Amino acid sequence: MKQSKQPNKKDASALVTVILTIAILSLLAGAFVSNINNRRLTVSQASAWQEALIAAEAGAHEGMARVEQSLVQNGQDLLPANIANVAIATPLTHEGEGTTTASARYSLEGNVSGYPGYYRIVSTGKVDLPGGQFLSMDGRDAVVRKLNLNDTVSGAPLRTATRTVEAWLQPVYSGTGSAGLRTEETITLNNHNIFIDSFDSKSGSRSYIDPISLQGGLPYPAGNQNTGMGYYNGAPDYIRAANVSTNSNSLSGGSAYIYGDAYTNGGTLQTVVGTGNIQGNIYDDYYEPMPPVYAPTWTSGTYTYGIPVTTTNNGGRTTTSYQTALNLKNNSAATITGGTEQSPARYQVSSVTLSSGGKLTFAPAAGSNSGYIELHVTSGGITTNGGGNGDGAILIQKGVNVKMYVAGNLEFKGNSLTNVNQTAGSLAIYGINPPTGTPQSFTLGGSASFYGTVYAPGAALNLNGGGNGGEFVGSLAGLTATLNGNVQIRYDESLGQSQKDTITSFKLASWFEDTRSWPVSGDFKQDTNKWLRPF
């Protein structure tokens, strides 16, 4: 019969030793794993926090795209209404621990603070946090990154990292862009007597008052030998805003004097030449879209087809007829009167030809000292030959604001346009883009002053100076630009604030992260007196 072995005290001590060893090793392993897990949480939470910013910026970019896409018809009337709290179209998927999606919601708010055309975009990106309801190594990580580790806050189902960015979009009006002269393609300045400077007609300190007429808001007189050019670009402000920009890489400067910066898109020493007299900087990373101009879509009954022309026969009898292809010559004249700003007087003709003293006058509304007129030239363009000193073939009377939409070519010769207002903002000429392959030219010449803006993204822009110089006050934009002779462009910086022109694009005016913080119930036990403050 086999008897069981009596328990040995040595066996028991060995067991205790083994258990103790295992326990110690387990504690060590546990501490090690805990330490590693904390580090993993720190890295993962920091990573999620960074991704939340990417998501928030994606939402802001989608909002910007949504606004930009509205610019399909002369940028007018199609801007999106306010949009509240929409999700981005496509969540940003990724591989990650604890989360596979970064999402964002954004809001659009138009006409911010009463400023037409401005948009404010607020976008919040969110990424779920991995792990449980635990801080990582240091509670300050959650404070700096404002992590939410509490499931109950605001009923949120998950622990999250969220970040909010706010972007402000500023409209770019056709009258200004970011330059006094800008083009899609080549700019050619053919003379060192070409001067481009700037002033601010809305600024008392940076504009000139004519001592005789007491008219203010003028550029400083050019003077003999162009001594007055650049007057408001020097001391004390040194504002070099008379920029010249092209979306191409080609700028032939002709040693012209430019009191601003020159921008090209990839310009090189071979394609950007003659820049010795540029007073600002030269950049090669410029691009600013130039949306096309479409023919206005006026509804029937809101405009007059043809321009009334009154003639007197030999018997002294006057008759009025509406010319749909306006052709004024031999000192014949026509006058069109304006409407209100809300309901401008609209006229449509196929072409305008003025010669031999023919004169077209834009006058205020009867009994009023102001008027708003829009003229749509549907195909044949505008040609003027000039009407002598002081009585140009086109006369814009005091108080009248004019918009011209011109299909076809435009040619102003001699002193063929007089804008009595002497403000660039009172005349806007738009060149309707021609069909693909059809050339279009806008030629402005003469030795008098032109006050207005030209935006013709499909037209070759030609500016020709006269004997003492052709002065163009305002801003100019075309497909290409060629300047010959003594040309002075006086860019009016206040056009950048005009709200009367067409919005051609938007640009960022501000972009920042909303880092404010407030006390919330159920937060994670931090000293609220120290960190839960604005910013």
Partner 1 sequence: MTLVELMIALVIVGFVLLAAFSSSTALQRGFGYTTAWSEGRANQTRLLDSLAVDLRNATKIAPFPSPSPSFLPITLTIPKRYTAYRSTGAAAGEPGTTGSPTPVPTPSTIISRTGSNIKYTDVNKQIIEASTIDVYYALSADKTKITRTVTRIGGSVSSAGASRDVATFPNDSPTVRFPNAKGPTVKFSSNSPTSIITSITNTQDPDYLDPDRTTKATLEDTVFLRQLSTQLSTQ
Decide: 92 and 38 in contact? Cβ < 8 Å.
no
Decide: 291 and 319 in contact? Cβ < 8 Å.
no
Instruction: Using alpha carbons only, give the angle 417, 419, 420 rounded to the nearest 5 degrees.
Output: 135
Nearest CB to partner 1, comparing residues 298 and 511: 511
Nearest CB to partner 1, comparing residues 159 and 359: 159
Closest approach of partner 1 to the CB of residue 529, in Å: 8
Nearest CB to partner 1, comparing residues 46 and 365: 46
Question: Which of 410, 407, 432 lies closest to 354, judged by CA?
Answer: 410
Task: Sort 180 into a burial class: Cβ within 10 Å, 0-12 / 13-18 / 19+.
Answer: buried
Instruction: Find out whether the peptide bond into 457 is cis, omega within 30 degrees of 0.
Output: no
Closest approach of partner 1 to the CB of residue 510, in Å: 6
Closest approach of partner 1 to the CB of residue 496, in Å: 4
Nearest CB to partner 1, comparing residues 50 and 312: 50
Residue 43 in tokens: 């890295």
Nearest CB to partner 1, comparing residues 141 and 411: 141
Distance CA 176, CA 172 (A): 7
Closest approach of partner 1 to the CB of residue 193, in Å: 27
Question: Which of 151, 49, 60, 168 lies closest to 104, judged by CA?
Answer: 60
Written as one string, the DSSP assignment of 346-403 is: EEEESEEEE-TT-EEEEEPPTT-S-EEEEEEE-SS-EEE---STT--SEEE-TTEEEE
Decide: 366 and 338 in contact? Cβ < 8 Å.
no
Decide: 455 and 176 in contact? Cβ < 8 Å.
no
Nearest CB to partner 1, comparing residues 92 and 365: 92
Give whole-number Cα distances, 97 to 28, 51, 132, 139, in Å: 26, 13, 12, 21
Residue 16 in tokens: 């205790």
Closest approach of partner 1 to the CB of residue 117, in Å: 11
Distance CA 41, CA 192 (A): 66
Nearest CB to partner 1, comparing residues 138 and 341: 138
Closest approach of partner 1 to the CB of residue 366, in Å: 35
198 forms beta bridges with 491
Nearest CB to partner 1, comparing residues 284 and 411: 284
Give whole-number Cα distances, 178 to 75, 181, 252, in Å: 17, 9, 19
Closest approach of partner 1 to the CB of residue 264, in Å: 16
Closest approach of partner 1 to the CB of residue 290, in Å: 17
Distance CA 457, CA 338 (A): 27
Closest approach of partner 1 to the CB of residue 70, in Å: 19
Give the type of residue at 419.
N
Closest approach of partner 1 to the CB of residue 123, in Å: 6
